[in-house]
Structure 1
Amino acid sequence: MGTKPTKIAVLLGGILSVSAPLQAAEHLTPTATKVDETITIIGRSESTPLNIAANVNVIDAAAIEMSGATSLTDVLRGQSGIQISDSNSGAVFAMRGFSADQAANNTLILIDGRRLNNIDIAAPAINAIPLNQIERVEILSGSAGVLYGDQAVGGVINIITKAPNSAGGSIRVSGGSFDTYEGQADVSVAINDKWRLYAAGSYNQGDNYRDHNANETASILGRLQYQDDTDRFFVETSYYDNERELAGSLTKEQFEQNPRQANSFYPDDVQHEMTSAVRAGYQHQFNRQWLLSADLSYSDTDVNSISWSSEGKIKRSLFEFNPKAIATFVTDNGDISLVAGADFSQGKADYDLAYITRNNTQRLMSAYIQADVPLTQTLSYVVGGRYSDVQDDLTDVVLYPEGEKLDNSASALELGFNYRPSKSQRFYLRADDNFRFAKVDEQAYTLSEVKGLNPQTGRSYEAGWDWTLSSQTLRVSAYRLDLEDEIVYVWSPEGGANMNADASRRYGVSADWDWQIAGSTQVGLEYNYIDAKFTEGANDGKVLPWVAEHTGRGYVSVDFAQHWQLFAEGQYTGSHYEGGDTGNYSPKIEAYLLSNLALNYTRDAWLASLRVDNLFDEQYASAVYYGGYYSGSGRAVRLTASYRF
């Protein structure tokens, strides 16, 4: 699964990875079947993509280096049908057909299994994760309501960071267009044969494509880890600081005239986000059958801003506790895998803005269980369930001066079948419920007669086929996603509000193909089709806004000399209605094709990369909300150099 790198890409992965060697680097004979990657996204325990009933793609460190990408957003753009929306202050990722303003609430983003999604509608700070800290990215397309519960509706993106499993480190510097400069460093130290220490830091500054859109971003991370034959313990802490000028939205006429200009009405708007996080985890392997583990995490975020020329403050905090038990039982037909656990969280959000004074607390409790059972040596099934309860305490100076308490619950069931007649083929069929609870700020910004929003619920059906040989991989899947009470924001001249929308459904087909040609050339194609519409109410039959019916990606990578590699890709996003246009009244936003090019040079422990994004300087809208246009970046050149020691 995922892309299989060319020779130089494999070498780069071996040089730059801190942790275990990449499975993609395994030597294959002409008749051998490619080795499955080990992943952790499914079952919340280690598994392999071809042995699970789901559509999973793994992007490893070698594939990231092969692309020459300089940010995680660039890595994810176009992968597995991900449609990106960026209001020039941070990207959100839509999977399985969600509008730009709802994507952040229906795609679950994890870092090493810890939620990055906020308890309010603010998008996760994906820029807090520099590429030098990433070992691989696991992408599950489709619902995962049983395993991950709230917000795992369109898909799950799990970012796995490097672990201190060996001594070494790296230094990486880059610079390029729009006065962009970046430095990254990481180091791993072996204290003794059981204790390891890992530290990483990064700094980035740039003016960015638009006027009044400069940023200054820094992050640091430290991790202490203990591991022996039966026990593993770690504790880590991190800090993220991002200050960015806000360019604001443009009218369509302004966008077409000069996409780089800033909104002239609010020349001083800026946002400064600071997040501190601490996390600890412990697991114990009692015997071959039983493993127990628990994670404990706390994050605290302060956001100081000037928005629409008014000062404001937002303070968020989130506490999580996630214990689980994993059991493995050997049978003649294969291993029975069982995972059971609970998720507890409490989040708080305080708003002190010009138009809002509000304090919200949300407590969520869940319990889940999932079993993967082999019926024969080639056929297995997975079954599971989850129950969740959420409580909201809302206080708003205007809407709820005496406070408001809300209590909601939701449940999910899962059933899937996985048939693997040979090592090279896999067929799967699955049905999975999904749900999401209203965020704390969504609950407190409704119509006056509405006291609390219903949980959004749905069900996903999917079937797929994978064919994996030594030099080629082909994956095809088809799905249907039905939603009830979808939580959306509806704008009107009298004032907007969050509400439960009419029912909707999404049909989709995806296909991707990778081919390793003669060891020095690799090509790949991906196509995604989505038919997303309302199925009842005033907008019955209307297309869901911002969802592109057709998206696709193609790439080629060539090793043309001993130390040189050339990578080129094209990313296509089809036409779509602007965000908020539920009635399909406005003309569609035009389709666009982005072309990227990278030239990589590697020798010993050195790497140099020249990457050009949007090679042909395509003018496109990266986000459009209710008539407000945000410009996608024009042509950008970045030169990067790194050294691994």
Structure 2
Amino acid sequence: MTMKKTLLAVALAPLCLQSSLVSAQTTTDETMVVIGRSTNVNSIEDIPANVTVISQSEIKESGAQDLTSLLRGRAGIQVSDTNSGPVFSLRGFSGGQAASNTLILIDGRKLNRNDLSSPNLNALALSQVERVEVLSGSAGVLYGDQAVGGVINIITKSPDSTGGSLGATGGSFDTYGYRGDVFGRINEDWHYYLAGNQADSDNYRDHNASEDGSILGKVQFNKGDKRFFFEINYLDAYREYAGALTEEQFNDNPRQANPSNPDDYSHEISTIYRTGYRQSVAGNWDINAEASYEETDTRGISSSANNTKKLDNLYGALQLESGLPAKHGEVNILLGVDFTDSDFDYLSSALDRDNEQKTVSAYGLMNYPVLDDLTASIGGRYTSVEDTLRDKTTYPTGQSIDNDAHALEFALNYLVNDKQRLYARYDQNFRFAKVDEQAYTSAGIVGLKPQTGDSIEAGWSYSDSDVTTRLNVYRLELKDEIVFDSSALAPNGGTFPGANVNADATSRYGIDISGIWYVTDVASVGTEYHYVDGEFTKGVNEGKKLSWVAPHTGRVYGTLAFLSDWQFFAESVYTGSKYRDGDNANSQEKLDAYWLFNTALSYTANSWQASLRVDNWADKSYASSVNSWGAYYSGDGRKAMLSVDYQF
């Protein structure tokens, strides 16, 4: 059931033939082409939102080998994990809701799925990542469905030089991996990039081993104003499931597996084809077209029952952009349409379900320079969705469900001087119910309404050669939030209590503060603090806090370079106390707050780089997920990882 190693060997074989190529370093593009969805409005200073960029150099100095280690505590991200893969939450969503309210992208391609499963990020090697962009806050106009709490966009490398790298990793829990990439010129206009990665681990808990592999091939054409690319990405992910523990089992031995389901596992294979083209047309207009097709097959055992899942997803987008002269600068106009056509099939001994979902969207955004240093933004999006659903139990003859939603945006961005800026933004957001949710509603309820929300935020930033400081305050209000309610009436023929419902109104308001001080040319210290107050504002739980949302999170970190080739990184990440996931009545005892202390020591010389990272130095025992039914999932104990990379 594991990935055939011969596939990865084929992908990496060319690397061994490239040792004579000229050594080259991949450069980091500091602009933000994808988060802003614009080639003109593409820097942090231009975007009236709370945006964080984690550069390739920051990734290297952190020593992190996976996204969980890299993102925990950054930009207000809270992480939960049922020992099946991380789920990232922005702006105060529970572990069960985060995967549907935080949009995850790779190079602008949406990873969020039709069902409630979280995007699979385990097969992605950080060595293939150029940077990570995090937009903390609503992005309904630019991205539509599920961009409620924020957007995490992972940008992979697209080098136009010649070179490559080989790397290996080993460490705790019998973890090992190897990776490599090669890139170069076919001729003056055409470039290629080939990368492969394999990572295997027994992981912290028993019966939780994972094997993740990926192969990526990409060709690019760049000539004048014309840009074209085509890529194929193959992913193979196998994972054993340790299952939930009781509180007593967790306290006794957090590494043990649930003995009730000793054979549970999942094996997922995905192939993604993606292409895009951009060029200037009609003078000062740029046209950008993109299409992708993904096919995913999953087999496994869950609660001792065999199951299979199949997903086919077709996506297409067309975008026009123009910069038109105005009195105080350039008016930027962005217009776009996109569509998706997804087929999802799920079959097990308990469920027989399939759904075809079609969405069509149109959006526009204009940035207008009111003054030389003041820009106003206005935009809107409309999306319609059609679900054709069949469920053997609840909709045996099939059911068609149609919905639509819209979002508006108004924003101001003021450059006070070359060091400071102020911004304010109002943005609406929405998300549509997923196939699992539409198929399990209370008796008499046919289809859930779209979840809608309003976000208001304001921010200030200051940056000079010694200090960078940022402040953001926000309020997010949702209505018809889509949640599972264990006390709701079950559907006719339902196999367990409760149902998916449009919940009572909720609100979240918070503050994000961050700063970094460059003490000397070789030393820096920084800190982040994030506060979110989320509660129900209507219904039986009015005034109660949202579950599995820690009001207080943050981190303190620092870097020190010494002896010309060495660098030391240390951070301490804080997660405050919170209610168990699903405890919306706040009737159960809160989980304790905890700190995690992590360090990394890196060495760089010529073409070699080595890094030793230790996570959770104190071997703190903490739960990465706990629900109101008493199911505990263990966070990792102390973990040491050594990685070595060679660039050529």
TM-score bracket relative to the smaller structure: over 0.9
What's 1:101 paired with? 96
* Matching residue within 34, 52, 57 for 1:57: 52
Note the residue ranges of structure 2 that are not aligned, 5 or more in a row.
1-21, 489-495
Q: Which residue of 1 aligns with 2:320?
A: 325
SS, match of residue 80 in structure 1:
helix
CA contact (8 A) 2:575 2:593 kept: yes
SS in 2 for 1:253: helix
Q: State whether residues 104 and 152 of structure 2, in contact with CA within 8 Å, keep that contact through their aligned partners in structure 1.
A: yes
Is 1:40 aligned with 2:34? Answer: yes
Structure 2: distance between partners of 1:44 and 1:93:
25
Counterpart in the other structure of 1:406: 401
Aligned ranges for residues 117-156 of structure 1 at < 5 Å?
Answer: 117-156=112-151
One-letter identity of the residue aligned with 2:636: S
Q: Which amino acid aligns with 1:506?
A: R
C-alpha displacement of 1:332: 3.8
Give the Cα–Cα distance (whole angstroms) in 1 for the partners of residues 37 and 257 of structure 2: 46
Matched, 1:430 2:425: yes
Secondary structure (helix, strand or coil) at the match of 2:416 reads strand
Partner of 1:158: 153
1:249 positional shift: 0.5
- Measure how far apart 1:616 and its partner are: 0.6
Q: Of residues 543, 553, 556 in structure 2, which corresponds to 1:554? A: 556
Counterpart Cα distance in 2 of 1:577 and 1:240: 36
What amino acid maps onto 2:608 in structure 1? W
Contact 1:59 1:137 (8 Å CA) reproduced: yes
Quote the offset at 1:38 in angstroms. Answer: 4.3
Q: Following superposition of structure 1 onto structure 2, how do residues 365-514 of structure 1 map, counting pairs within 5 Å?
A: 365-492=360-487, 495-514=497-516
Kept in 2: contact 1:39–1:138 (CA 8 A): no
Contact 2:28 2:130 in 1 (8 A): no
The correspondence for 1:254, drawn from 249, 255, 276, is: 249
Question: Counterpart of 1:577?
Answer: 579
Partner of residue 636 from structure 1, selected from 635, 639, 643: 639
Task: Please tell me the residue identity of whatever aligns with 1:20.
Answer: T
1:172 partner letter: G
Residue number among 185, 193, 202 corresponding to 1:190 in the alignment = 185
Residue 20 (str. 1) matches residue 27 (str. 2) = yes
2:12 aligned residue: none
Taking the aligned partners of 1:211 and 1:52, their CA distance within structure 2 comes to 46
**Distance in 2, Cα, partners of 1:222 & 1:21:** 20
User: Does the 8 A contact of 1:208 with 1:215 survive in 2?
Assistant: yes
State the 1:287 CA deviation. 6.5
Percent of pairs with identical residues: 49
- SS in structure 2 of the partner of residue 249 of structure 1: coil
Contact 1:230 1:286 in 2 (8 A): no
1:313 aligns with 2:308: yes
d(CA) in 2 for partners of 1:169, 1:43: 29
SS of equivalent to 1:320: strand
Answer yes or no: is the 8 Å Cα contact 1:361–1:394 preserved in 2: yes
Q: 1:363 and 1:21 mapped to 2: Cα distance?
A: 37
Task: Give the whole-Å Cα distance in 2 for the aligned partners of 1:240 and 1:154.
Answer: 27
Please state if 1:225 is matched with 2:228.
no
Q: Distance in 2 between matches of 1:580 and 1:549?
A: 16
Change (3 A) 1:341 1:298: same
1:77 & 1:153 partners in 2: Cα distance?
19
**d(CA) in 1 for partners of 2:269 and 2:466?**
46
C-alpha distance in 1, partners of 2:486/2:325?
56
528, 541, 544: which one aligns with 2:543: 541
Change (3 A) 1:153 1:44: farther
State the match for 2:16 in structure 1. none
Shift of 1:74: 1.3
Alpha-carbon offset, residue 75 of structure 1:
1.1
CA spacing shift, 1:299–1:542, aligned 2, 3 Å: same
Number of matched pairs: 618
Secondary structure in 1 matching 2:199: strand
2:5 — aligned with what? none
Query: Match of 1:574, as an amino acid?
Result: G
The equivalent residue for 2:330 is 335
Structure 1 residue 294: Cα displacement: 0.7
Specify the code of the residue in structure 2 equivalent to 1:42: G
Pick closer, same or farther for the CA change 1:415–1:16 going to 2, 3 Å.
farther
Structure 1 residue 18, shift from structure 2 partner: 5.6
Partner of 1:3: none
Q: What do the CA deviations read for 1:14-46 (whole angstroms, capped 9, x no partner)? A: x998643455xxxxxxxxxxxxx4443024445
C-alpha contact 1:18 1:163 (8 A) present in aligned 2: no
* Superposition TM-score, scaled by structure 1 size: 0.94
TM-score normalised by L of structure 2: 0.94
Q: Is the CA contact 1:226–1:233 (under 8 Å) kept in the aligned structure 2? A: yes
Other-structure match for 1:31? none
Q: 2:72 aligns with which of 71, 77, 83?
A: 77
Give the aligned partner of residue 622 of structure 1.
624
**Contact in 1 for aligned 2:440/2:499 (Cα 8 Å):** yes
Letter in 2 for 1:145: G
Q: Is the 8 A contact 1:379 1:420 kept in 2?
A: yes
Paired with 1:327 and 1:127, the residues of 2 have a C-alpha distance of 38
Alignment of 1:198-347 (within 5 A): 198-286=193-281, 289-347=284-342
Residue 610 of structure 2 aligns to a residue whose secondary structure is strand
Write the distance in 2 (CA, Å) between the matches of 1:131 and 1:284.
30
**Could you say if the C-alpha distance between residues 364 and 18 of structure 1 is closer, same or farther in structure 2, counting changes exceeding 3 Å?**
farther
The offset of 1:592, in angstroms, is: 1.0
**Partners of 1:39 and 1:49 within 8 A in 2:** no
Residue 38 to residue 386, structure 1, CA distance change in 2 (3 Å):
closer
